[in-house]
Every structure is written in C-alpha cells, then in structure tokens.
C-alpha cells in the first residue's frame, strides 16, 4: 500500500490530469488536421499551434509525474533507511546485552577458579600432644627437693600423621607446665631452646606410617623434678602432585629420636 503525503498525491493527480488532457487534445487536433487535409483545406498557423501546445502540456504533465514519482521513491528510501536503522540499533542493543552477560559469566568463572585455587593451596594442620611427668633423680638428698639433670631427663616423641604426598610448610612447638593455665598461643618455643626445664629437639624427622600417610615427629625431654610438662606439636602442610622433600632444617634421621 502506497504511503504518500498530500503534496506528492496532489502532484501525481495534477500530472495524471495534465497527461490525460494533453493526450485528448492531441487526439482532437490530429483528427481535425486529418479531416481538413481530406477536404483540401490549407493548414493555418493556429491549426499547427495546437499539436505543439498539446505536446508542451504533455511534457509538463510528464515532468510533474516524474517529480511525484521521484518524491515517492525518496519517501520509500527514507522509510527503508529508517527501518534498517531501527533494526541495526535493536541488534546492537542485543549484542551489548549479550556481551555484558558473557562478561559477568567470565568474571564469575574467574572468581570461582581463583577461589578453587586458593582452596587447593590452603594450608592444613594437624596436632599432637603429650604429657611428661616429673623426673626422678637417681641420687636423693634428704630434706631436699628432688632435682634432675639433663642426663636424667624423661623423653617422648611427638608424631603427627599427614598424607604421604603432603609437603610440610611449618612446625609450631608449644610447651608449658602441666598445671599451668597459660594458653597454648603464649607457650610457643623454638626447637632446641629451653622452656624452663624442658626442651624440644633441634630437628624433626619423617617416617612412613602407611601407603597413604606418614608421620612428622620431633623429640621432647623434661628434667623437672617437681612438675610435669605438656608438649604440643602442630604440623602445617599443603598437598602436592608428587612427594616433595621437606626442608633439611625440619628433617633428621630416625636415630635422632632415639637420642
């Protein structure tokens, strides 16, 4: 269905009327001239001017019709361009929405991957606790408190079980008198350093426990003749794809536990 405004419609109607009128005038003039020639009447200037006027009117009508048709084509082109622009804008809006959705999904996946990696590398820990009673001196002095020296110290070995493929990242050592209310966090000691009349071994060691687990161990000795001591070993580790050797600062041969 044609979509023409008033000006284009008026131009088209005028052009059509002019063309029809010119054709009618040309037909009348042609018949009149043929009739006059048949009777032998000589042609006059007026009779000759009639076809010329009709042709001129025909040209004017054709021009007006061409103008109307060109305006129609312009309107159609503008309408098609507007439709194409609207369609393109709709597609661009849809692409923008899709890109934003994909970006959110990518960020979500990236955050989830980051959290998974962090969870995979989180350090885990296991603890082992032991209690050593007061030592008994070999030589007892009358009316004197029993006293021990390091040669008479009581010794224990603390071991914490970890997976066989674990890599030890840290070892925390704690020691306090058995009847002490001091929290473990305030009772931390260093390997090989005295904690009152008690001491941890300078080096730790590993030994196999089963195909799936191993033990990380350290020695603890106490030569306090009045109080027992509580010792605590906390081993922190991470899981690796293959077994990794633990730092030599943490390991020693099994014979170290027997000393």
The most confident of 46-55, 82-91, 105-114, 242-251, by mean pLDDT? 82-91
The pLDDT score that the predictor gives to residue 150 is 85
The pLDDT score that the predictor gives to residue 117 is 46
- pLDDT tens-place string over residues 132-177: 999 887 765 555 556 788 888 899 999 999 999 999 999 999 999 9
Distant-in-sequence, close-in-space partners of 233: CB < 8 Å, separation ≥ 6: 127, 128, 129, 158, 159, 160, 171, 172, 173, 216, 218
> In the chain, what is the straight-line distance between the N-terminal and C-terminal CA atoms, in Å?
107
Is there a contact between 124 and 238 (Cβ–Cβ < 8 Å)?
yes
* Positive/negative CA dihedral, 9, 14, 15, 21: positive
The pLDDT score that the predictor gives to residue 236 is 94
The pLDDT score that the predictor gives to residue 19 is 72
- Domain locations in the chain as residue ranges: 6-118, 124-258
- pLDDT tens-place string over residues 60-100: 767 777 777 777 777 777 888 888 888 888 888 889 888 88
Q: Which residue has the higher pLDDT, 78 or 110?
A: 78
Model pTM greater than 0.75?
no
CA–CA dist 202, 191 (Å, integer): 5
CB neighbour class for 40 (10 Å; exposed up to 12, middle 13-18, buried from 19): exposed
């Amino acid at each position: 269905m044609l979509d023409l405004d008033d000006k284009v419609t008026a131009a088209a109607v005028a052009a059509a009327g002019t063309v029809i009128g010119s054709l009618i005038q040309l037909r009348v003039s042609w018949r009149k001239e043929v009739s006059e020639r048949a009777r032998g009447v000589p042609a006059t200037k007026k009779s000759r001017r009639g076809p010329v006027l009709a042709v001129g009117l025909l040209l004017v009508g054709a021009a007006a019709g061409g103008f109307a048709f060109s305006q129609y084509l312009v309107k159609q082109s503008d309408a098609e361009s507007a439709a194409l622009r609207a369609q393109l804008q709709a597609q661009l809006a849809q692409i923008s929405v899709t890109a934003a959705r994909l970006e959110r999904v990518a960020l979500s996946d990236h955050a989830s991957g980051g959290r998974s990696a962090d969870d995979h590398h989180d350090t885990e820990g296991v603890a082992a606790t032991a209690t050593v009673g007061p030592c008994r001196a070999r030589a007892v002095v009358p009316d004197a408190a029993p006293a021990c020296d390091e040669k008479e110290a009581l010794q224990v070995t603390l071991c914490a079980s970890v997976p066989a493929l674990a890599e030890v990242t840290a070892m925390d050592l704690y020691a306090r008198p058995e009847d002490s209310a001091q929290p473990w966090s305030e009772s931390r000691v260093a390997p090989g350093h005295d904690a009152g009349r008690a001491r941890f071994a300078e080096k730790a060691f590993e030994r196999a426990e089963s195909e799936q687990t191993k033990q990380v161990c350290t020695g603890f000795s106490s030569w306090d003749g009045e109080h027992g001591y509580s010792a605590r070993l906390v081993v922190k580790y991470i899981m690796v794809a293959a077994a990794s050797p633990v730092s030599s600062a943490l390991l020693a041969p099994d014979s170290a536990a027997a000393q």
